[in-house]
Amino acid sequence: MNKKILPPLTQIPPHLQTIADYEKQAEQHLAENTWHYLQGGAMDEQSVRDNLEQFKKIQLIPRLLNDLTQGSTQCEILGEVFPHPIFLAPIGHQQLFHPDGESATALAAEVLGSNMLLSTFTNTDMRLIKKENPFKWFQLYWQGDREKSLALVRLAEQQNFKAIVITVDSPHTGIRDRERRVNFQLPEGMQHPHTPTHIPLPEISTDQHPVFQGLMQIAPTWADIEFMIAQTSLPVILKGVLHPLDAQKAVETGVKGLIVSNHGGRVLNSAISPLKALEQIRKVVPNDFPLLLDGGIRRGTDVFKALALGANAVLIGRPAIYGLSVAGALGVAHVLKILKEEFEITMALMGTARINEINQEYIFQD
């Protein structure tokens, strides 16, 4: 029996109060293989679970009786002031989840003052994303060579994107058992205006390895990052860094910020959770070096815990797509509103008036 797929909602029903509510509702709006693509991860999905579980191991220790009448969730990153530290992670192929795709997500981000990271694999041309909105960064998947990659950066510069985020943790797609079991495929003819879904591989001889001499031959290196930094006036941020030594090298190379991420557990199974990695990386980079955490955020308390461990902001991926699947731009906006309000109330109950007051003194770890 085929699953009945509900159309997107045009108004938010009262039972949708949390991200967990949205997750449950979203499944009803998506085809089964699309749902498994969204929820799945690499191999046995241990990293997907760990990303969530790490937040549960941290307890909050509130301070009381502070004057919070001047409270604010504003944060400053790379000289730009954002209304709050809840950003939208780069997610490709968003028309899988709603016909309006990234246009809907961008509208919600603008209304809620959230910084949006637009994926290279967007279904919506970046020239259709509102040029005047200052809160947007462009996420670059390396295009196999410098010339093609730089062409996308130049277009992002012209469209007033404020930073270039280079994803460096997925030179090879993760082994996703769940996707293969349901035979997930992108819809035939789905448009990706800025890149093909598969970068052409270099020709190799029969005695060469298709991964090491094939795919890895066109993967980016530190030299390519240096090249890109030299070619653009925009700050370059690396997404997917987990090792403190890579963080140190990024600082030395001229990278302006890092997104600590294991790609939502979708690439390398049993990779360290971003929350654990964040704590280690914060120790080895300058105090004012921007670190963003991506992965596992489901409540406003999670946002607080990430900031306490050294993040300057957080990114949400799957939660935003739950909202998009349920109700388009309205759903994404509501998801952001839920997290923003939960975070504001958490800050107030924790006795913190400003983002820069949040630190490890407010948390307890086993």
What pLDDT digit, counting tens, does each position of 166-193 carry? 999 987 677 888 888 988 989 988 999 9
Provide the pLDDT for residue 204: 67
Residue 302 included in any domain: yes
Least confident of 114-118, 122-126, 172-176: 172-176
Which domain CATH number covers 291? 3.20.20.70
Residue 191 included in any domain: no
By C-alpha distance, which of 92, 154, 98 is closest to 118?
A: 92
Residue 82 included in any domain: yes
How many percent of the chain have pLDDT more than 90?
A: 84
By C-alpha distance, which of 231, 258, 265 is closest to 244?
A: 258
Amino acid at position 266, single letter = R
Sign of CA dihedral 242, 244, 245, 248: positive
More confident residue, 217 or 107: 107
Least confident of 21-30, 155-164, 210-219, 315-324: 210-219
Residue 14 included in any domain: no
Other Cβ atoms closer than 10 A to 240: 23
Number of H helices, E strands in the chain: 11, 12
By C-alpha distance, which of 159, 165, 140, 74 is closest to 113?
A: 74
What pLDDT digit, counting tens, does each position of 245-289 carry? 999 999 999 999 999 999 998 999 999 999 999 999 999 999 999
The residue whose two tokens read 């080895």 is 284
Residue 53 included in any domain: yes
State how far the Cα of 305 lies from the Cα of 346, in Å rounded to an integer: 10
Which residue range forms the structural domain that includes residue 155? 19-63+77-184+216-365
Residue 68 included in any domain: no
More confident residue, 65 or 198: 65
Q: Is 212 helix (H, G, I), strand (E, B) or coil?
A: helix
Least confident of 36-50, 82-96, 201-215: 201-215
Does the active-site annotation cover 263? yes
pTM of the shown model: 0.94
Residue 5 included in any domain: no
Residue 6 included in any domain: no
What pLDDT digit, counting tens, does each position of 145-160 carry? 899 999 999 999 999 9
Q: Exposed, middle or buried: residue 50 (CB in 10 Å: 0-12, 13-18, 19+)? A: buried
- The mean pLDDT of 15-42, rounded to a whole number, is 96
The active-site residue, picked from 29, 192, 263, 334, is 263
Total domain count, the chain: 1
Q: What is the mean pLDDT of the chain?
A: 93
Provide the pLDDT for residue 130: 94
Q: Strand pairing partners for 167?
A: 239
Going along 58-100, which residue ranges are E strands? 58-60, 75-77, 80-82, 86-88
